[in-house]
């Protein structure tokens, strides 16, 4: 196990430390889990997904203020 030094904003550190204490978890273990999750998975979004998302955002949408009334669900 290695001991490392990081520069972290005091307010963020205090808030996270308090969170870990309240939850009864190890702060260093939480940081380790975060680092592992960031490096083991591929967080990059594929170009195809972004293109599909753009098409969806540009689509036609129907504004319905009262969903139940519009579809007779009342």
pLDDT tens for 33-67 read: 888 887 876 667 778 888 888 888 888 877 777 88
Q: Distance of CA 20 to CAs 2, 3, 27, 65, Å?
A: 21, 19, 6, 42
Residue 8 has pLDDT above 80, yes or no: yes
Q: State the total domains in the chain.
A: 1
| Assigned domain for 39 exists | yes
Domain range for residue 14?
10-70
Q: Is residue 17 part of a domain?
A: yes
Tokens 């293109």: give the residue.
Answer: 51
Radius of gyration of the chain (CA): 23
Q: Is residue 46 part of a domain?
A: yes
Residue 14 lies in a domain: yes
Residue 1 domain-assigned (yes or no): no
pTM: 0.49
Residue 5 lies in a domain: no
Q: Could you tell me if residue 34 is inside a domain?
A: yes
What is the reported pLDDT for 42?
A: 67
Average pLDDT over residues 18-39: 89
């Amino acid at each position: 196990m290695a001991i490392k030094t990081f520069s972290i904003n005091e307010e963020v550190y205090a808030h996270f430390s308090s969170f870990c204490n309240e939850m009864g978890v190890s702060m260093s273990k939480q940081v380790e889990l975060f680092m592992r999750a960031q490096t083991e998975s591929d967080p990059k979004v594929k170009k195809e997904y972004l293109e599909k998302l753009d098409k969806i955002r540009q689509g036609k949408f129907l504004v319905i203020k009262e969903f139940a009334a519009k579809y007779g669900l009342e």
